[in-house]
Amino acid sequence: MVKAVRSFSWPACFELFSSPLKRLVERNGTKGSQPNSRNRHVLTSNTVEHTTESGLDYSSLEKRNAQHDEINSILDQVEPMDSVSCRLYPVCSSLFAWFDAQLSGDNDLISAIAAIRLFEKVHAVNPHHAENKAQMLLCGVVPVLASLVNLETPDRVRHHVCCVLSELAFQDATCCFTIVNQPGLLDDLTLLLDPAAGQTQEDAARIVNNLAAFCEHSVPILVKCPGLLLSLAAMAARDLDARHIAIGALNSLSRCGLSRPAVAVEPVLCALAHALEDPGESERHAATRASAAMALANLTGDAEPLDAHRLCRAPGNRFREAVEGIVVLFELSVLRRQRGGILFRPYSVLYPLHQLCRHPPNRALLVAMGLLPRLRLFFAAEAAGGPAAAAERDAVRGRSLVLAIAIVDNIAAEADLRPAVRDAGLASALRDLAEGA
């Protein structure tokens, strides 16, 4: 049953919200209370998962849930979180202005909850996330968010603000370019990459990753920020979660050809090589090794191509498994399936595969790993307008096709590999693609 949306005036709405919530926060600690960095609100798939925070003295699970229910019931009087109407219609500029005021307020609990609600507005599962992102740019919310990404902001507010910025950058080049040009933001993100920042070091790395992954024009600006690359390289030497995110960010940065010399510095290359030696067996370990191998392939130039064939035989690393992982990631990207918690686009996997195929000794290796049937799957999905094709913008999709065709050309240049190309049915797949164009 759809909950009716009540009419209200903004002044009355603000008073309705602020008075009971302020009393609620006064009972449970205000801005001086800092939560443990590992215990915080986590918003996933448009659902708020509540976990205990050290700033609030919950004596039982029931009391904790009742506390959050009270907060949400107050917020629902302003903007119903669980109503169908909240999901069906884009939000208006007045509501963003209200969020803006709460983010800049003196009460970090209110600011954190406002950031959670903003995250819900721009999350990819929200049917109006694109409209909401555009409205946020027009309303000037991004500078407010950027001003809160620093160590002076309370931890729980900073965490949720970083989540909003990361989601804004997701698959939106305009948002990426707006965010990356915020004065002082990149310096603040670099500081947050330090272990002293707690879990927000991972939040900061996710922002960098999305800025680089979804807007190539952001990369030259990012790599010019003093200390950012070195901080990511140092982060890659920490625990698995930090390494997984840091290597992913370095991989995204490595795909910009113009910035390749700036990224291919010794600390970064050492961090990528070290990630290949990780002995872990989980899917997350495998995805991290594959990301490191892709970054190494991306950073190789014409003068010194990456000899995957030789590296796969070298002791002390798991490069062969990593390259096999890249081939598997390519298939998953076409099917729009995640690996290690990450949804890769075909372009982000085709780029390193193309780099590898430029070196003749690597071609037979990739064929043996099953690349050709995956290429046929990609061409078939493009011809049919599958989910991967629909998810990529036209410009990126065009570059993906160019890379895939170039890979086929490179492999077919080897006389002993031409029968494999023919048996994989790539000629007919390309013919179907051309006829459907």
The answer, yes or no, to whether residue 407 has pLDDT greater than 70, is yes
Domain at 196, CATH number: 1.25.10.10
Q: For residue 122, is it within any domain? A: yes
Q: For residue 194, is it within any domain? A: yes
pLDDT at 435: 78
Q: For residue 121, is it within any domain? A: yes
Q: For residue 177, is it within any domain? A: yes
Q: What is the per-residue pLDDT across 319-345, written as a single tens digit (0 to 9) for each?
A: 788 889 899 999 999 998 887 777 888
Q: What mean pLDDT value characterizes the chain?
A: 77
Q: For residue 53, is it within any domain? A: no
Q: For residue 94, is it within any domain? A: yes
Q: What is the per-residue pLDDT across 101-157, written as a single tens digit (0 to 9) for each?
A: 777 767 788 788 888 888 988 888 888 889 889 988 988 889 999 999 998 888 888
Q: For residue 161, is it within any domain? A: yes
383 pLDDT band, cuts 50/70/90, is confident
- In 10 A of CB 67, how many CB atoms? 16
Contacts of 407 (CB under 8 A, 6+ apart): 350, 353, 354, 357, 371, 375
Tokens of 288: 């991290």
Number of domains in the chain: 1
Q: For residue 99, is it within any domain? A: yes
- For residue 129, give its domain range: 85-216
pLDDT at 60: 39
